[in-house]
Amino acid sequence: MKIHITYTGGTIGMISTPHGLTPGADMRGWLNRLIEGTQVSQEQVSFTELNPLIDSSNATPESWQAIIDDLWAAHDESDAFIVLHGTDTMSYTAAALSFAMTEFGKPIILTGSQLPLGLIESDATANVTGAINAALSMEAQGVTLFFGHHLFSGSRVTKNSSWAFEAFKSPSMSPHALTGAPWRWFPVTQTGEGWPKPNPYTRHDVAVVDMVPGISAARVKAAVTPEPEAVILRSYGVGNIPANEPGLVDVFAKLIEHDVPVIICSQCQQAVVLVGHYETGDAIAQAGAVGAEDMTFEATYAKTMFLLSQGLKGKKLAAWIPHPIAGELTSTKLTSTKQ
Ligand code: ASP
């Protein structure tokens, strides 16, 4: 069993500087010491370090692609893959990899830590050994994220704490596994149509607009001017917006008229979006907005970026939102809409 580790940056390998934490630790040396004396030998583990190592707050769709390229380059020589990543945007990267790697055929496990390696109080050792154990298990499938004793589906996970060691959760799907003696594995019922030979990720103009009490149509209009390639509207609850605010729905209706997809997700971490269930969501539903169902915000954003990178636009892109590609949502809609 061979494991490839791709190190991208993040707190796990950071050191203190006068300007704050930044990558700089000897990751390879630390990994070697971590596995020394265990059942894993150094020869079993290959390692690449992306250049530059980044704080994941600086990640872009090009950073997602750099990870994908590194994983494919090591595909034939390894049986399982670990990506060491900053926690801030790890759930975006996990979702992005899920959409782009449906044909990879080998497990990919992302992990990182809340505190740098080498500190006695750090969670780095527990998370990296957990990821290695998941890799060795032969049970992990697809893209997953190991953190704080849980192995989650990569397309279902969200960061929910800036400080807790249990920093991630999967609000609409149970975890794949829970650590313990022995680990407990749960059946995974994730379906998706997959995406053979996807185009690389490229950066696109996606506007994210949050609803708040008292927001005006003028503010929303300014947020979507010039017109972006897609809009993700963070609504209340099951897809409700302040529809009584004069002109507000019209801003979104105009975008849809111009074939800009308007995708409605929820500010609730755990939600099933049912646009039009309430009167406050009816007008935007009639205008043609599409609901993100039970996708996380991160999966909705990464999916939109993925579809734009595949050259899909407007209604064709919107048609893919309720259809699972990589198990990112709970749906029975598996009929192909790909064109
Ligand atoms: N800012 C860091 C990062 O995302 C936070 C972390 O890794 O915990 O790279």
pLDDT in tens, 105-145: 999 999 999 999 999 999 999 999 999 999 999 999 999 99
Does residue 261 contact residue 318 with C-beta atoms inside 8 Å? yes
With a 6 A CB cut-off, is 86 part of the ligand 1 pocket?
A: yes
With a 6 A CB cut-off, is 111 part of the ligand 1 pocket?
A: no
Chain mean pLDDT for the chain: 95
Please, which residues have CB within 8 angstroms of residue 16's CB and are 6 or more apart in sequence?
A: none
Q: Kindly give the number of the ligand 1 atom that is closest to the alpha carbon of 12.
A: 7
Residue 239 Cα, ligand 1 centroid: separation in angstroms? Answer: 31
Residues 243-248: what's their mean pLDDT? 96
Task: Please give the pLDDT value at position 280.
Answer: 86
Residue 52, pLDDT above cutoff 70: yes
Distance of CA 33 to the CA centre of its chain: 30
Give the CA dihedral 98, 102, 108, 109, nearest 10 degrees: 30
Residues annotated catalytic, as ranges: 11
CATH of 3-185, one of 3.40.50.300, 3.30.70.1140, 3.40.50.1170, 3.40.30.10: 3.40.50.1170
Residue 339, pLDDT above cutoff 60: no
Residues 270-278: what's their mean pLDDT? 92
Residues 219-230: what's their mean pLDDT? 98
With a 6 A CB cut-off, is 280 part of the ligand 1 pocket?
A: no
With a 6 A CB cut-off, is 87 part of the ligand 1 pocket?
A: yes
Pocket test for ligand 1, best of 56, 110, 122 (most atoms within 8 A of CB): 56
Asked, colleague to colleague, whether 3-185 and 206-320 share their fold, the answer is: yes
Nearest-CA residue for ligand 1 atom 3 is 86
Residue 191: pLDDT band with limits 50, 70, 90: confident
Residue 337: pLDDT band with limits 50, 70, 90: very low
Q: Kindly give the number of the ligand 1 atom that is closest to the alpha carbon of 112.
A: 7
Residue 313, pLDDT above cutoff 90: yes
304 vs 321: CA distance, rounded Å = 8
pLDDT digits (tens, 9 = 90+) for 4-39: 999 999 999 999 999 999 999 999 999 999 999 999
With a 6 A CB cut-off, is 88 part of the ligand 1 pocket?
A: yes
Domain segments of the chain: what residues? Answer: 3-185, 206-320
Residues 159-188: what's their mean pLDDT? 96
Residue 5 Cα, ligand 1 centroid: separation in angstroms? Answer: 18
Residue 54, pLDDT above cutoff 90: yes
Residue 12 Cα, ligand 1 centroid: separation in angstroms? Answer: 8
35 vs 237: CA distance, rounded Å = 46
Residue 202, pLDDT above cutoff 60: yes
Residue 84: pLDDT band with limits 50, 70, 90: very high
Share of the chain above pLDDT 70, in %: 98
Residue 331, pLDDT above cutoff 90: no
Residue 336, pLDDT above cutoff 60: no
Give the CA dihedral 196, 199, 204, 208, nearest 10 degrees: 20
Residue 88 Cα, ligand 1 centroid: separation in angstroms? Answer: 5
Residue 23 Cα, ligand 1 centroid: separation in angstroms? Answer: 10
Residue 176, pLDDT above cutoff 70: yes
Task: Please give the pLDDT value at position 190.
Answer: 73
With a 6 A CB cut-off, is 122 part of the ligand 1 pocket?
A: no
Residues 184-188: what's their mean pLDDT? 92
Task: Please give the pLDDT value at position 332.
Answer: 53
Residues 280-306: what's their mean pLDDT? 96
Kind of pairing between the strands at 80-84 and 14-15 = unpaired
Share of the chain above pLDDT 90, in %: 93
Taking only Cα atoms into account, the Rg of the chain, rounded to an integer number of angstroms, comes to 21
Task: Please give the pLDDT value at position 279.
Answer: 86
With a 6 A CB cut-off, is 291 part of the ligand 1 pocket?
A: no
Structure-model confidence comparison of residues 106 and 333, the more confident one: 106
With a 6 A CB cut-off, is 250 part of the ligand 1 pocket?
A: no
Top-level class of domain 206-320: alpha beta
Burial of 313 (0-12, 13-18, 19+ CB in 10 A): middle
